[in-house]
C-alpha cells in the first residue's frame, strides 16, 4: 500500500488534477511504446477521440493549447506516414522510472521487458 501512495504522490506532484484515465494512458504508453493512438485506444477500451485528447494532455500542448505535461511525443510512422506513433520523452522516461521505483524498486528495464505481459492484466476502462 505504501508503494501505491508513493506513486499517487508522484502523479499528484506532476499535475494535481491528473485523471485516472490519463495515468492509465501514460502507463499503457510506457509498457508499449511506438504504437498508434488507435492501438492505445483499443488497449484502454475507449474511442480514438478520447485517447487522442489524453495523449495530447500528456504531450507538448494539452487540449486547450496550454503547456502539456511533456511526458510523451508523437511522430509519423516511418513505414506508414498516415500513422502517428507515440513514445515517452526523456522526461517521461525519467518519470516512469521514478514510478517504477516507488512501486517497489522495479528497474525501468524490467518494466519495459515485462510490458507486453503486463498490459493484458490491466483492466480496461
Residue-wise pLDDT tens for the chain (125 aa)? 788 889 999 999 999 999 999 999 999 999 999 999 999 999 999 999 999 999 999 999 888 888 889 999 999 999 998 899 999 999 999 999 999 988 875 555 655 555 444 444 444 44
The count of other CB atoms within 10 Å of the CB of residue 114 is: 14
Cell of 7: 506513486
The answer to whether residues 84 and 76 touch, using CB atoms and an 8 Å cutoff, is yes
In sequence order, the β-bridge partners of residue 73 are 87
Domains and their CATH numbers in the chain: 2-119 (1.10.10.10)
User: What DSSP string describes 48-107?
Assistant: HHHHHHHHHHHSSB-TTSSB---SEEEEE-SS-TT-EEEEE-HHHHHHHHHHHHHHHS--
**pTM of the predicted protein model:** 0.79
What are the residues whose beta carbons fall under 8 Å from the beta carbon of 73, sequence distance 6 or more?
59, 60, 86, 87, 88, 89
Amino acid at each position: 500500500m505504501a508503494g501505491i501512495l508513493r506513486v499517487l504522490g508522484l502523479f499528484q506532484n506532476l499535475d494535481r488534477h491528473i485523471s485516472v484515465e490519463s495515468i492509465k494512458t501514460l502507463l499503457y504508453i510506457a509498457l508499449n511504446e511506438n504504437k498508434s493512438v488507435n492501438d492505445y485506444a483499443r488497449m484502454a477500451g475507449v474511442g480514438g477521440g478520447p485517447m487522442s485528447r489524453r495523449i495530447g494532455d500528456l504531450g507538448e500542448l494539452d487540449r486547450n493549447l496550454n503547456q502539456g505535461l511533456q511526458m510523451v511525443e508523437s511522430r509519423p510512422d516511418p513505414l506508414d506516414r498516415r500513422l502517428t506513433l507515440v513514445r515517452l520523452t526523456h522526461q517521461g522516461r525519467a518519470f516512469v522510472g521514478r514510478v517504477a521505483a516507488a512501486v517497489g524498486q522495479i528497474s525501468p528495464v524490467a518494466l519495459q521487458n515485462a510490458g507486453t505481459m503486463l498490459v493484458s492484466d490491466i483492466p480496461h476502462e
